[in-house]
A = this chain, B = another copy of it.
Amino acid sequence: MSLAEAVDRFVPDGSAVAIGTALEALIPFAAGHEMIRQGRRDLELVGPISDALFDQLIGAGCVRRVTAAWVGNVSEGLGQCYRRAAEDGVPRRIEVHDHTNFSIALALWAAAWNVPSLPTRTLLGSDILSTNPHLRVADGLVQVGAMRPDVAVVHVQRADAMGRAHAWGPLGITEEAGLAADRVVLTCEELVDASVTLSDPNRILFPETKVVAVVHEPGGAHPSPVQGYFKRDHSFFRAYAAESRTAEGFNAWLKRWVLDLPGRAAYMKRFDVGALRVKGTALSSPVNFADE
């Protein structure tokens, strides 16, 4: 399936979208950019921290609400579009449901286990309790209300056409996001035969019954890193931080990198992909699944 079709069919206006769930790596920038290109509106973005992608979706006016622990540009600092939206309502006002990294994970586990809330000690004494209506204190513990995304958008190293995804490196809250979400859209560096994914069922991220789309989108996480495939493009984040300092600068950036491009293949031609590509090999030691 093409990314355009996947976003069109499975990420309608108004969706609650979990995206960027592995924190700084494997961020589905290509999918986010496609949402922008399609003029998606009134999204609720759900994630732990977001390294620039939430900022871009907010700046493009796609977002109604942010449910997250941190929104900015990890190596560069504040998110300028996030600031403009929250401070000045530019391009539109957004609602912010603050979380901590742990509490957003628990919100997803609550949804995965289909209970109204899960308890924790984190957030006790924090003013975040007063800004997020889905957090409340009872019996000396914080009850974190369930967050069920309509869709989790996840970038992985490899997947097969049936939706069995292999991802590696730290996974943040990816597993709970996929289990909690109504459906999962996958983008992947490599579309592989089922014999590859099924050779290691322990590494399969989600039950395929949750997965509604598998999109082969190499480089779909740029400028974020992909273990074994791409290094992080630090200078791209730095340039984005500088250019997004003003709304005009952001709009120029957006035109150049998203709106004027038909898709990821064209995007990948606009920078030195080779310099970012991982060339080395550090293979996992295989394990034997034989049964006799």
Contacts and interface: CB of A to CB of B under 8 A. Distances in A.
Interface of A: 106, 113-121, 141, 157-158, 166, 168-169, 171, 195-196, 199-200, 202-203, 227-229, 231, 278-292
A168 B202 CA distance: 6
B278 A282 contact: no
Contact of A115 (B141, B227, B228, B282): B141
Contact of A118 (B119, B157, B227, B287): B119
Contacts of A157: 287
A169 to B, nearest CB: 7
Contact of A283 (B166, B171, B231, B288): B288
A106 B118 CA distance: 11
Given A280-B292, A291-B280, A292-B280, A285 B199 contact: yes
Copies per complex of this chain: 2
A141 to B, nearest CB: 7
A101 to B, nearest CB: 14
A228 B290 contact: yes
B288 A228 contact: yes
Contact of A284 (B169, B199, B229, B291): B199
Given A121-B114, A169-B202, A290 B282 contact: yes
Contact of A113 (B116, B120, B202): B120
B115 A292 contact: no
B285 A227 contact: no
23 contacts: A115-B118, A158-B287, A166-B287, A168-B200, A168-B202, A169-B202, A199-B283, A199-B284, A200-B285, A202-B203, A203-B284, A228-B288, A228-B289, A231-B291, A231-B292, A280-B292, A281-B288, A282-B288, A282-B289, A282-B291, A284-B286, A284-B287, A285-B286
Contact of A288 (B106, B113, B278, B287): B278
A169 B288 CA distance: 10
A289 B196 CA distance: 17
Nearest to A138: B139
Nearest to A118: B118
A97 B107 CA distance: 29
